[in-house]
Structure 1
Amino acid sequence: MNNSDTNSTQREHFGSRIGFILAAAGAAVGLGNIWGFPTQAASNGGGAFLIVYLAMILVVAFPMLVVEMAIGRHGQANPVDSMRAITSNPFTKKLAGSVGWIGLTVPCAVLAFYSIVGGWLICFLLAALCEIIGLFDAALWFKGFSVERNVFGTVAFYLLTILIVQGGVKQGIEKWSTRLMPSLFVLFGLLFVYIMMQQGALQGLKHYLIPDFEKVWDRKLILAAMGQGFFSLTIGGCSMLIYGSYLSKKENLPQMAMKVTLVDTAVAFIAGLVVMPAMFVAMQKGVQIYAEDGTLLSSDTLVFTVLPLMFESLGFVGLVFSVVFFLLLTIAALTSSISMLECPVALVDERIQVGRKKTSWALGALIALFSVYIVYNFAELFGLVAMVATQYLQPMAALLFCLFGGWVWSRAGKIKELEQGCPDFQMGWFGKLWPWYVKFVCPILVITVIWASFG
């Protein structure tokens, strides 16, 4: 009997399908969708990028999402013990466990820099609120890039994350995901209507939705879309594995994975509907966005420079929408950060059993200390930690999950797991194709993503 059998009896599960879908989609929906996706689309021919991105989500990301969720649900445990549960051979069990540990470094490393960005969002949100009520000095402080302001924002972001995670799966993650995710769509809707009423918005919308088919086969565009699709669903980030472990065995896993994929992709698509027209509105207002050669200026800071400038140029109404915009981004960042903290919390809580509350605060504080250290050494560490986490650790973890899910976990074991909740899994074309696809095609695609990120 493996340890997963002992865990499954008392393990907490999501209370509803919609709770799981919104929580898992929330884990995937982050700044990558709202900040990264429109930026990538703007840099790579708008509509052409959108078409290739949608194809890549289905071809690369979705089959691997099913693998990660299946490993988690099979193991009914944290990433390390779930990986160990896919094999009974003592040697490969040890190897699989170490893959789980490598995977666990991803959410911890990503959270360390991600929470700093989350802190900036909170500060910009507070700055806009201060301007509305006339506290202009405070607003200037919140907009400034001082160490004190960055520490304040980072700590505030961690407090929100820890408070949600300590509540557990149903009372914490599910409860807040089912509130935050719908509000994300509502805020997007408001922003879209507002931005479309501005001059230049229609031009941006055309650029986004009407593809230049000549660019669809551009190698650079295809690799960018593949990478974006891969990171958009946090493949290799452990979040999907841990949320999969909280999914009931009665649920149809491929169907749930598809719904998560659709919600995540919808958010990226809608973000493009808002951000791309907003960029063209900003251009009408005299903000320079593209360089002479057509490349995007300041793509990394688009959210913090270009869009606030556009809001500022629209007077008081712009301030109100600035609050809406940064609230939206804070929500997106939070739905991701709670899944990142959940990964190490689940491991320590299951292994040491000192209680989820204490574990959440202790681990949250520990990673927060590292984040504060990064803030104090920002120039040297921020870019480095972000690069190591997203360009090296995450793709490497994804490749290892893929190889172990495809080659170490037996075909019969995989099929058996997916047939729970989906008895006729092997009857459909996906059931026939998927085990082979995960074994041979997915590793090649992941290696391509890794190779492209070094290019």
Structure 2
Amino acid sequence: MASNARGHFSSKIGFIMAAAGSAVGLGNVWGFPTKAASNGGAAFLVIYLVMVFLLAFPMLVAELTIGRHGQANPISSLKSIWTKNRTLAGGFGLIAIVTASFILSFYSILAGWLVSYAIAPTIDLAGFHQASNWLVDFGVSRNLIFTVIFSLLTILVVLRGVADGIERWSTRLMPLLFVLFVVMILYICTQDGAMEGLKMYLVPDLSQLHGGLFVDAMGQAFFSLSLGCGSMMVYGSYLKKDVNLPKIAAQVASIDTGVAFSAGLLILPAMYVAKNNGVDIFTESGALKSSGDLVFKVLPAMFETMGNIGVLLGFGFFVLMVIAALTSSISMLEVPVSCAQDELGWNRAKATWLIGGLILLISIVICLNFGRLFGLVADVTTVYMQPLLGVAWAILVGWIWNRNKLLNEIKQGYPEIEQGFFWKIWPWYVRFICPVAIIMVFAYPLI
């Protein structure tokens, strides 16, 4: 384990931006607003905020603590905790690495579509209507080309390392993301129909509460923080020992939740602006159209009704989506890259190009067999593997890791933790509540 040669984040703000970037992805900007719209708007928002605090935050502290203790990739970090069964611990780490790689393989295809949709309005404005139509129409050639482009963007950032690549680009891209959000929210909220969307999003209707909403909110909170697939464990391994883990986890969770909330402030009013402009956003039965329709059909249709300002808004919206996707994809590629560096002794360039290239090949295979493979890979990794791995991390921290060693690890950046409320609650919470809650999220769709 070459921990002495490992990179580190050069500043706490750099880590917060990188970890928040990992958490802020299409799950926030795309998944959260559509789930909120499908589950009564404000009712979902309130329960989601509760679930972030009750479930996602305690698990984020657990993953960051495992990573910082091991100062290595998930395989070595888990072995450093479960010393009596290092083979099984390493096996769980390997599963996390494979899961992150397969998530990235389908994520790159989705993100490639976003790149093509960002380019399309400007190409159309320039008079190249046929090229613009090709960019927004589903097709194998378009899917392949833009998957390769997005994959190369991800590889080039990770290639630069922790401080010069991940940290530098996260601290540039995340503020740009926030600025784009503010500008677009302010504009959309001046349009006719926006207030109806805002009311749905911000005024709770308690009659909308039901069991499925609680489970949806819990799942969204869990997945939106990149929990379960090793990303936060790897980022934790790049943290210095004097960092206050509960505090920094709270900051990352707050930024992630803020972005999800902002996405709702943008997309729910935009849906009703689209409806006001004659775009169909609901099916005949009154249900919300699918999330794919929302992002790739409903919103572009709305931008088209707005003339030249719509071209600018459409470009801004999809650039925003690409930024969110890129800050997540670099954290996913870093999981197997850090493993190859530690376990196989590869240098960063070799690890990044070989593993990034291998994941791109998997993406190409999925593109060529889209109907059979895309949904399958997405479901197996996010619906099944992420929550099951989350349960494993909760059991490892709650039941297997020696309580004094766990306390000593957190005390290095938070010496007075033993006297505080956090330490009185958190170890028991991770031991009992988190595994049961995650299993509920996992089991509900099966039932």
Q: 2:67 aligns with which of 61, 65, 72?
A: 72
Name the CA distance, whole Å, in 2 between partners of 1:301 and 1:31: 15
Aligned to 1:81: 76
Q: 1:381-396 residue pairs with structure 2 within 5 A?
A: 381-396=373-388
User: Is the counterpart of residue 36 in structure 1 residue 28 in structure 2?
Assistant: no
Q: 1:268 aligns with which of 238, 260, 267?
A: 260
Aligned to 1:95: 88
Residue 15 (structure 1) shift: 0.5
Residue 182 (structure 1) shift: 0.4
Please report the TM-score for the alignment, with normalisation by the length of structure 2.
Answer: 0.98
Change in Cα spacing, 1:144 to 1:293, as seen in structure 2 (3 Å) is closer
Cα deviation code 1:415-444 (max 9, x no counterpart): 111111100111111111111111111110
Aligned to 1:284: 276
User: Is the counterpart of residue 109 in structure 1 residue 102 in structure 2?
Assistant: yes
Aligned to 1:242: 234
Aligned to 1:255: 247
Name the CA distance, whole Å, in 2 between partners of 1:231 and 1:454: 18
Q: 2:156 aligns with which of 163, 178, 202?
A: 163
Q: 1:109-128 residue pairs with structure 2 within 5 A?
A: 109-128=102-121
Name the CA distance, whole Å, in 2 between partners of 1:364 and 1:334: 14
Cα deviation code 1:376-416 (max 9, x no counterpart): 11011111111111111111111111111211111111111
Q: 1:337-352 residue pairs with structure 2 within 5 A?
A: 337-352=329-344
Q: 1:279-358 residue pairs with structure 2 within 5 A?
A: 279-358=271-350
SS at match of 1:211: coil
SS at match of 2:114: helix
Structure 2 unaligned segments of length 5 or more: list them: none
Cα deviation code 1:8-60 (max 9, x no counterpart): 43321100111100100100100000100000000000001000000000001
Q: 1:191 aligns with which of 184, 192, 199?
A: 184
Q: 2:40 aligns with which of 20, 37, 45?
A: 45
Name the CA distance, whole Å, in 2 between partners of 1:144 and 1:303: 14
Aligned to 1:178: 171
Residue 299 (structure 1) shift: 2.5
- Contact 2:30 2:291 (C-alpha < 8 Å) held by counterparts: no
Name the CA distance, whole Å, in 2 between partners of 1:79 and 1:298: 35
Q: 2:17 aligns with which of 18, 22, 26?
A: 22
User: Is the counterpart of residue 403 in structure 1 residue 395 in structure 2?
Assistant: yes
Aligned to 2:4: 9
AA partner of residue 344 (structure 2): I
Name the CA distance, whole Å, in 2 between partners of 1:129 and 1:427: 58
Name the CA distance, whole Å, in 1 between partners of 2:273 and 2:228: 37
Name the CA distance, whole Å, in 1 between partners of 2:348 and 2:246: 30
Residue 215 (structure 1) shift: 2.6
SS at match of 2:81: coil
Structure 1 unaligned segments of length 5 or more: list them: none
SS at match of 1:85: helix
Cα deviation code 1:267-302 (max 9, x no counterpart): 000000000000000111111212344321123331
Name the CA distance, whole Å, in 1 between partners of 2:346 and 2:243: 30
AA partner of residue 343 (structure 1): V
Q: 1:416-427 residue pairs with structure 2 within 5 A?
A: 416-427=408-419
Name the CA distance, whole Å, in 2 between partners of 1:352 and 1:95: 19
Name the CA distance, whole Å, in 2 between partners of 1:300 and 1:415: 45
- Contact 2:82 2:396 (C-alpha < 8 Å) held by counterparts: no
Cα deviation code 1:160-217 (max 9, x no counterpart): 000000000000000000000000000011111111111100110111001112334x
Name the CA distance, whole Å, in 1 between partners of 2:350 and 2:147: 20
AA partner of residue 139 (structure 2): S
Percent of aligned pairs sharing the same letter = 51
Residue 95 (structure 1) shift: 1.4
Moved more, 284-293 or 152-161: 284-293
Name the CA distance, whole Å, in 1 between partners of 2:129 and 2:382: 37
Q: 1:412 aligns with which of 381, 398, 404?
A: 404
Name the CA distance, whole Å, in 1 between partners of 2:293 and 2:389: 28
Name the CA distance, whole Å, in 1 between partners of 2:82 and 2:404: 12
Name the CA distance, whole Å, in 2 between partners of 1:298 and 1:271: 17
Moved more, 97-106 or 22-31: 97-106
User: Is the counterpart of residue 373 in structure 1 residue 345 in structure 2?
Assistant: no
The runs of at least 4 consecutive aligned structure 1 residues that moved more than 6 Å come to: none
- Contact 1:105 1:393 (C-alpha < 8 Å) held by counterparts: no
Aligned to 1:430: 422
Aligned residues: 447
Name the CA distance, whole Å, in 1 between partners of 2:398 and 2:287: 40
Name the CA distance, whole Å, in 1 between partners of 2:155 and 2:95: 23
SS at match of 2:184: helix
Name the CA distance, whole Å, in 2 between partners of 1:135 and 1:78: 47
AA partner of residue 314 (structure 2): S
- Contact 1:99 1:401 (C-alpha < 8 Å) held by counterparts: no
AA partner of residue 418 (structure 1): I
- Contact 1:165 1:342 (C-alpha < 8 Å) held by counterparts: yes
User: Is the counterpart of residue 440 in structure 1 residue 432 in structure 2?
Assistant: yes
Name the CA distance, whole Å, in 1 between partners of 2:386 and 2:292: 20
AA partner of residue 132 (structure 1): L
Q: 1:204-215 residue pairs with structure 2 within 5 A?
A: 204-215=197-208
Name the CA distance, whole Å, in 2 between partners of 1:198 and 1:224: 30
RMSD: 1.1
AA partner of residue 39 (structure 1): T
AA partner of residue 43 (structure 1): S
Moved more, 56-65 or 403-412: 403-412
